[in-house]
Chains A and B, each alone.
Chain A
Amino acid sequence: MKNGKFNIIMIVLDGLRADRLNLCPSLSKILKKSYYFPNMITAAPYTVASFHSIFSGLYPSKNGVNSYFNMFKFRKEVCKTLPQYLQDKGYYTETNLIEKSIVPPPGIDTISVHDEYKDDLIKSHKGIISEISKKENFFLFLQYSKIHAQSVKNVGKKFDDMDKEFFRNCEANKKKYNSYLKEIDEYTKKIFDHIKNLGLMENTILVLLSDHGTSNGEKIGEKMYGSFTYDYTIKVFCTFMIPKTQGKEIQFQTRTIDIMPTLMDILEIKADDSYEHLQGKSLIPLMEGKEKEDRIAFSETGGLNGPWPSHKEHNVFCVRLKKWKLVYNKTPNTWEMYNLEEDPEEKNNIFDKENELSLKLQKILLDQIKLNKESII
Chain B
Amino acid sequence: MVGSCDIINNNKLEVVILADSNDVDISLPKEVAEKLKQRAKSSGFSSLSSYVTYILRQVISNIEAENQEKDKKTSKEDEEKVKDNLKGMGYLE
Contacts and interface: CB of A to CB of B under 8 A. Distances in A.
Question: Are both chains from one complex?
Answer: yes
Interface of A: 47, 68-69, 71-73, 75, 77-78, 98-99, 101-102, 148-149, 152-153, 156-157, 272-275, 277, 304, 375-377
A77 B57 contact: yes
Contact of A68 (B64, B65, B81, B91): B91
A274 B91 contact: no
Given A68-B86, A71-B82, A101-B85, A273 B58 contact: no
B49 A274 contact: yes
Nearest to B91: A304
Contact of A274 (B43, B50, B64, B88): B50
Contacts of A68: 82, 86, 91
B89 A78 contact: no
B89 A152 contact: yes
A156 B49 contact: no
Nearest to A376: B43
A240 B57 CA distance: 33
A153 B91 CA distance: 10
Given A78-B54, A377-B55, 13 more contacts: A47-B89, A72-B81, A77-B57, A77-B60, A78-B58, A101-B81, A148-B90, A149-B90, A273-B50, A273-B54, A275-B54, A375-B54, A376-B43
Interface string B44-61: 111001110111011011
B23 to A, nearest CB: 11
A376 B50 CA distance: 12
A152 B92 CA distance: 10
5 contacts: A78-B54, A148-B89, A148-B90, A274-B51, A274-B53
Nearest to B68: A73
Contacts of B34: none
A309 B18 CA distance: 51
Nearest to B43: A376
B25 interface: no
A352 B38 CA distance: 42
A77 B64 CA distance: 9
A98 B88 contact: yes
Interface of B: 43-46, 49-51, 53-55, 57-58, 60-61, 64-65, 78-79, 81-82, 85-86, 88-92
B86 A304 contact: yes
Contact of A156 (B60, B64, B90): B90
Given A152-B89, A156-B91, A157-B90, A72 B78 contact: yes
Contact of A273 (B44, B65, B78, B86): B44
A273 B45 contact: yes
A304 B85 CA distance: 13
B70 to A, nearest CB: 15
Given A68-B86, A98-B88, A377 B58 contact: yes
Contacts of A148: 89-90
Among B44, B60, B61, max chain A CB count under 10 A is at B61
Among A75, A153, A304, max chain B CB count under 10 A is at A75
B36 to A, nearest CB: 10
A205 B40 CA distance: 35
Contacts of A272: 50
Among A152, A156, A377, max chain B CB count under 10 A is at A377
A275 B57 contact: yes
A78 B54 CA distance: 7
B82 A77 contact: no
Given A77-B64, A304-B86, A375 B81 contact: no
Contacts of B92: 304
B91 to A, nearest CB: 6
A77 B44 CA distance: 20
Across chains A and B, which 5 residue pairs bring their CB atoms closest together, nearest first?
A152-B90, A274-B53, A77-B61, A274-B50, A273-B50
Nearest to B55: A377
A129 to B, nearest CB: 24
Nearest to A304: B91
A221 B51 CA distance: 45
A101 B85 CA distance: 7
B4 to A, nearest CB: 22
B72 to A, nearest CB: 16
Contact of B82 (A72, A149, A273): A72
